[in-house]
Amino acid sequence: MTKVITYGTFDLFHYGHLKILERAKQLGDYLVVAVSTDEFNAKKHKANIYPYQHRADIVNAIEYVDEVIPENSWEQKIEDIKKHNIDIFVMGNDWEGEFDFLSEFCKVVYLPRTVDISSTQIKNSFK
């Protein structure tokens, strides 16, 4: 069984989120999604609209997702890869190169972002 992991805040869940989860699942048999906690987002100076549990519940309801875990820190990725026996780490290509150091532990794949959609874009449209 090929296990895949990806990370994100998944605030204001939109079509781009759905597509990256779909494409991540196509790379393997089992998809683990780490959703950033409210506390971690605060450390990143990132404001989210919905609290962690709501975002985690939404992601967990997506058919491509097999397991949701909390993302509490930048440093947990190696531990997550080992703990969950991950074969492939997936992120959007806006993070290209940032996680190459994980290739020591699993394959690292950067998927193209869905064009013309982002949570930041949605938030800005309401301002």
Label each residue of 79-90 as H, E or C.
HHHHHCCCCEEE
Does residue 46 have an active-site annotation? yes
- Residues whose CB falls within 8 Å of the CB of residue 81, separated by 6 or more in sequence, listed in order: 5, 89, 102, 105, 106
Count Cβ atoms within 10 A of the Cβ of residue 86 and give its class: 0-12 exposed, 13-18 middle, 19 or more buried: buried
Identify the active-site residue in 43, 46, 82, 83. 46
Catalytic residues: 44, 46
